[in-house]
């Protein structure tokens, strides 16, 4: 796939978040919907932000095949009281390099390789952990070839 990088500003956002360890990346398909159901049951009046912004932050600082530490975040319209292991918080605005990946999640490694190479070659350094924002996926597209994921890596000038 041909990739291109864009620098963009992500605005401050209110999110609910949950930190967890996924045995394997594919566990997202079951874990994320369950978290959404739990939150909907607790706060049925909670609304997702417009435009929708759901992302995972990878907390390990490097690629891992298993036992991946992540933080699931979903932008919402307002703060609610924390409960169990769900936290509501405001995340700061960030400057990121953005790379769009169309297709199966199993091919995201190619997009990450491009992203980190672009950061190095263009005089930037990473400022925080990478995020994956899910635009189209299993919930609204029948074919993996139509899935759209945005890789977002916070950056600073070297």
What confidence score (pLDDT) does residue 26 get?
80
The angle at the Cα of 14, spanning 140 to 111, to the nearest 5 degrees, equals 50
Residue 1 predicted with pLDDT over 80? no
* Cβ-Cβ contacts under 8 Å for 88 (sequence gap 6 or more): 14, 15, 16, 17, 76, 79, 80, 81, 82
Residue 137 predicted with pLDDT over 90? no
Kindly list the domain boundaries of the chain, sorted by start residue: 5-157
Across the chain, where does the E strand assignment appear? 5-10, 13-22, 54-58, 68-75, 87-91, 94-102, 124-126, 131-136, 148-157
> How many angstroms separate the CA atoms of 155 and 153, rounded?
6
Q: What is the CATH number of domain 5-157?
A: 3.20.80.10
Cβ atoms of 16 and 82 within 8 Å: the answer is no
Residue 100 sits at φ, ψ, to 5 deg, of -90, 135
Residue pLDDT, tens place only, 108-128 = 999 999 999 999 999 999 999
What confidence score (pLDDT) does residue 157 get?
94
**Do the strands 94-102 and 124-126 form a parallel or antiparallel pair, or are they unpaired?**
unpaired
Residue pLDDT, tens place only, 24-45 = 888 887 888 899 999 999 999 9
């Amino acid at each position: 796939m041909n990739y291109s990088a864009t620098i963009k500003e992500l605005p401050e956002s209110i999110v609910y978040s949950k930190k967890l360890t996924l045995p394997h990346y594919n566990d997202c398909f079951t874990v994320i919907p369950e978290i959404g159901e739990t939150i909907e049951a607790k706060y049925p009046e909670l609304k997702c932000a417009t435009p929708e912004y759901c992302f995972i932050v990878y907390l390990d600082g490097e690629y891992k095949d298993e036992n991946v530490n992540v933080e699931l975040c979903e932008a919402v319209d307002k703060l609610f009281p924390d409960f169990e292991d769900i936290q509501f918080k405001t995340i700061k605005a960030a400057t990121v390099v953005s790379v769009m990946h169309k297709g199966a999640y199993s091919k995201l490694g190619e997009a990450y390789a491009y992203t980190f190479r672009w950061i190095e070659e263009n005089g930037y350094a990473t400022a925080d952990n990478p995020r994956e924002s899910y635009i189209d996926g299993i919930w609204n597209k029948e074919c993996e070839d139509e899935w759209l994921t945005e890789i977002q890596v916070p950056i600073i000038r070297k």
